[in-house]
Amino acid sequence: MKYLVLIPDGMADEKIEALGNRTPMEAANKPMMNALAKKSLVGTVSNVPEGMVPESDTANMAILSFDPKVYSKGRSPLEAVSMGIEMKSDETAYRCNVVTLTDDGDYDDKIILDHSADEITTAEADELIKALEEKLGNEYRRFYTGVSYRHCLIWKNGNDKYDFMRPHDILGKRIGEYLPKKENGGEEFYRLMRESFDILNHHPVNEARRARGLKPANSAWLWSPGKKPQLPNFREKWGLDAAVISAVDLIKGIGLCAGMKSIDVEGATGNVHTNYDGKANAAINAFRDGCDYVYVHVEGPDECGHRAELENKVLSVELIDQKILKPVYDYLVSCGEDFRIMVLPDHPTPVRLRTHTILPVPFMIYDSAKEWDGVENFCEESAEAKQNYIENGYSLMEKLIK
């Protein structure tokens, strides 16, 4: 038996008037998902436990069968693992976004315009992170380049409990009330972020971006601290040789911590303009190379939700259906072996809100050897109507495997 798990990150949404009172998922032309959904087990699932922040680390950990309340240590240390950083027990990892703030006024009065700095390229961001390391790095803290706007700070004896604000939750707002506070033990974090603006705002990379009409990545934003993570071994738990395919360090880190093979795809960007064909080919090759279970994560719908790009969110769902799900399905059929496919977003990322929510998401499980009474159009409303609700996302794997 082969298993494909396809995660269109943040695909779930709200009904939108501009789409005829449909959700992006409902409006998208996705013939492959809908064809499989007619014969699939369909329902809804809560991947983020009540009381936890609806972040991708929590949700994807649950989908992979690991209870987030037990194993979640923050997303940053998982990203550090995927970047090859060997964390020590006394070190804390922090996500270090490079974000776009307005130029005018004191630091506290600036407005956050973009959590991704127009989805800055990794090559440009690398120069900025190196500048931060040169000016702000020392024997206790080090900056590491990740992908696009997502980077990592490792801090010896750093506070791993500080409750930072997530930058994508405050787009368009004055940052002062959301910055780390001295009275809460955040003085060092505040100072670093403020100093980062002076280092980055007129950096040659950002001046060149302004000249091209792009937003500058003119400040660091710290969040999601955590210590070195530990997850159960996926193969030991399920008896399956597994691989993860993602452009996002966080998802790679979860897979690596669980002993899964992480497969990089050239041209995979983490946004709507990614290498869909490459991800499909990587999944097919993973099955050919002996993997029983392949987890394909696609960040595009989530980024479109954060950026309030409605048309691109619909497009990303359509491209995932056409360029990833269909070719991998066709390959699995050609093998002549029974297989199962599970498709679900990890969490909703509504275009209206531009951030994640904790609401349940639709899921479908297709079995080549069995037919269920599924739905005509795989979307939020049709899945909810099946009244097949799974409260704990970490138990969903049981339905897929057993």
Question: pLDDT tens digits for 100-144?
Answer: 999 989 999 999 999 999 999 999 999 999 999 999 999 999 999
- Work out the pLDDT band at 315, boundaries 50, 70, 90: very high
Q: What is the pTM of this model?
A: 0.79
Question: How far is the C-alpha of 296 from the C-alpha of 294, rounded, in Å?
Answer: 6
Judge whether residue 73 has pLDDT over 80: no
Q: Class of the 2-70+230-401 domain? A: alpha beta
* Mean pLDDT, the chain, whole residue set: 96
Residue 59 has pLDDT above 90, yes or no: yes
DSSP 183: G
CA distances from 94 to 16, 171, 229, 253 (A): 35, 20, 13, 14
Query: Rounded mean pLDDT of 239-256?
Result: 94
Residues with Cβ < 8 Å from 191, sequence gap 6 or more?
A: none
Could you give the residue range(s) of every CATH 3.40.720.10 domain in the chain?
2-70+230-401
Minimum mean pLDDT range among 153-157, 201-205, 226-230, 364-368: 226-230
Instruction: Please list the residues that pair with 150 across neighbouring strands.
Output: 97, 147
User: What is the pLDDT, as a whole number, of residue 184?
Assistant: 80
Q: Which of 256, 327, 307, 267 is nearest to 87 (CA)?
A: 256
pLDDT band at residue 185 using 50, 70 and 90 as cut-offs: confident
Band (pLDDT 50/70/90 cuts) for residue 377 is: very high
Confidence band, pLDDT 50/70/90 cuts, at residue 402:
confident
pLDDT in tens, 330-357: 999 999 999 999 999 999 999 999 999 9
DSSP assignment letter at 28: S
Strand-pairing partners, residue 263, are 245
Greater confidence (81 vs 201) lies with 201
Model pLDDT, residue 183 = 80
Contact indicator for 219, 98 with CB cutoff of 8 Å: yes
> What pLDDT is recorded for position 342?
99
Confidence of residue 277 (pLDDT cuts 50, 70, 90): very high
